[in-house]
A and B are shown apart, each in its own frame.
Chain A
Amino acid sequence: MTLLTSAGRSRARTAGAVVITAVLLFPLYWMVNASFQPSGALLKASPDWFPVHGTLAGYREAFSGQTGHLLTSLVVALGTVVVSLAIALPAAYALAQLRVPGNLLVVFVFLTVQMIPGIVMADALYTVFSRLGMIDSYPGLILADSTATVPFAVLVLRAFMVSLPRELSEAARVDGAGYWRVFRSVVVPLSRNAVVTAGLFSFLFAWADFLFAVTMTTGQTIEPITVGIYRFVGNQTADWNGIMATAVLASVPAAVLLVIAQRYVVAGVTGGALKD
């Protein structure tokens, strides 16, 4: 990363960005604070702004029971990214770059299907999956989560690909490359930014999903972390200490992945893939 002409201006911007981030992430700080404190501590007349008299009990509980659930969530989220991109990338290419009649109708359908209420999707998929023996399996949960991410990925990738100069792919076609090669060697590399964005959000969708997670699993074999958090929520009680500690624990590995992915985007941009 090169510092621009005025290092001072850059520093001021960094300071501003830190303030913005701090304000926007305050609820997360409040969660972290809660994870170290007993129930009700944040509702005191003068709440503890820092967990100075904290307890690690929540983390002990979370660590002892939740690490397996984290792994499950990771597999499901990564699987969802793969499935979503595998289906969405070719579709987005066709919709953005190959002009055929009915394209916009397809776009429209992808937009509309996302309106089906989640619980209706879950009910219907449960019925189908239980007949196919796919309850409590990774493929089942990944496919269910993908219903939320495939339409999204198609629309986002298409929106980016529409603005790709078509001369590039057409020049390749003139050079004798087939559609598949143009797609693979020109369009996908050029869309790296958008691919990472779509992949990122697919990951986040699947990671934070609760409805499909609770519907498509029974806890006998696999259980994602969002359901695992309910191990601290009873019928009429809630162990906030444990819930918040689990949530913090759940955020850390995913946050690391996000930072890595973002660096990848920046590398792609500074590498000049999209600049001319």
Chain B
Amino acid sequence: MAVGAVVALTATACGPGTAPAKSGSGGGGSTAAAGSITELDYYTDAAGSAAWQQALSGCTAKTGVKVKRQSVPTDQLIQKVLQGAASHTLPDLVLADNPTLQQIAATGALTPLSQYGISTAGYYDSIVKAGTYQGKVYGLAPGVNGLALIYNKDLLSRAGISAPPATWAQLKADAAKLTKGSTYGLAFSAVNSEEGTWQFLPFFWSDGGDLSKLDSAQGAQALGYVRGLVASGSASKSVVSWNQNDVADQFTSGNAAMMVNGSWTLPALDQQKNLHYGVVPLPTPQAGQKPVVALGGEVGAIPATGTATQKAAAKVLSCILSEPTMLAWDKSHAYIPTRQSTAQTFARQNPELSSFVAEVETARSRTAQLGTAYPKISTALATALQSALTGQQSPAAALAQAQKQASG
């Protein structure tokens, strides 16, 4: 460690821009913060990238810390982090998808946020849990997202449906009624990846399913319900091959009257002049319940790269999590603020997103209960979903096999 500290000192002495040295434990020393840091995120698309750049630039202005940014395609981020961990060239600040934080923290390369005085007070419990690994908070998100039901107003009124569905029974009946010609009542994603699991979890959890016991009766009931939507023809059999982009494309092209999708799709939908859509929380098994959706969004984490750079990264992250930046970023990216008070302000300012704000209150972290075991269970659940939807196995049998696979 002594060597690491010396190198870190010389690094700062050389001025900003010098590559940060490796340091095993980044205890909050007395060294001054570095003048510039490196950052890694996956906001590659033009709109998302510009919005994030704005947040970062604003924070550079406030903190005086320059941010050298790198954005990679979504499924490359974890690889980039692992490559950086192997060669000890990790970025100073990482924005990672919240279910992958467990894996990144498990490398041992992250530092707890408490050591920089970043507090979790006022944040939704679920988002704090998503950023917690082995009792310590390693990541906090400036915004989260969840799934809701987005419907085509014209198609619903043409079918004589006055109000969008709120219960499973209504969803089933309305989807059947809306299925006509080349249009399906409902579109969702059941693809063979985390996206498929993420879309199924609201059904699974709202009905009382449990990720640590996939083959419960409630889980099978939820899977049976979703399978019924496909089997009855109210949703296309193609859901097993659609990711969420494809679902949105099906919805905009008029092939689906309703879809399960996230707040991030709304800006793209707004660009379709002929499309009049509405958003409501996902239907629940019984009337009056609140849906339990999975929590989405990216958490900011600080790898151990050297005292000076860690300190600078903490300054930037604190700024990103501050109320004005949080509000601006979430508005431009159609995300929901992660502090209750900020979210309430946000809901007042952006009423069109209020369905999503309401859902975040009851949203659940995918990894809170399972930690690093989650990916294996998620893979097993996605396979079971596909197996049941393609009619290869009954819901109960598919989930029984998934449970065996997940615990094996």
Contact = CB atoms under 8 A, between A and B. Distances in A.
A10 interface: no
A131 B403 CA distance: 44
A45 B83 contact: no
Contacts of B97: 235
A40 B255 CA distance: 9
Interface in A226-270: 227, 230-240, 242
Given A61-B46, A231-B49, A237 B264 contact: yes
A230 B244 contact: no
Interface in B110-166: none
A237 B68 contact: no
Contacts of A233: 44-45, 73
Contacts of A44: 253-255
A124 B82 CA distance: 11
A170 interface: no
Contacts of B182: 45
A218 interface: yes
Contacts of A40: 248-253, 255
Interface centre among A123, A235, A240 (most CB of B within 10 A): A235
B30 interface: no
A103 interface: no
A234 B47 CA distance: 9
Contacts of A214: 72-73, 76
Interface in B196-236: none
| Dominant secondary structure at the B interface | helix
B118 to A, nearest CB: 24
User: Majority SS of interface residues in chain A?
Assistant: helix
Contacts of A240: 249
B264 to A, nearest CB: 5
B3 interface: no
B252 A231 contact: no
B181 A231 contact: no
A237 B45 contact: yes
A139 B133 CA distance: 40
B89 A130 contact: yes
A215 B249 contact: no
Nearest to B271: A38
A44 B251 CA distance: 10
Interface string A32-45: 00000011110111
Interface string B238-275: 00000011001111111100000010110010011000
A218 B83 CA distance: 13
A45 B48 contact: no
B240 to A, nearest CB: 16
A90 B252 CA distance: 57
Contacts of B68: 220
19 contacts: A38-B271, A38-B272, A39-B249, A40-B250, A44-B254, A119-B79, A122-B79, A123-B82, A123-B83, A127-B83, A130-B87, A130-B89, A219-B71, A232-B46, A233-B45, A234-B43, A239-B46, A239-B268, A242-B46
Given A39-B248, A230-B73, A234-B264, 11 more contacts: A39-B252, A123-B82, A131-B87, A214-B76, A218-B70, A219-B71, A231-B44, A232-B45, A233-B73, A234-B45, A235-B48
Interface of B: 42-49, 68, 70-74, 76, 79-80, 82-83, 86-87, 89, 97, 181-182, 195, 244-245, 248-255, 262, 264-265, 268, 271-272
**In the A-B complex, the 7 residue pairs with the closest CB atoms:** A234-B45, A40-B253, A45-B182, A40-B249, A40-B252, A130-B87, A230-B73
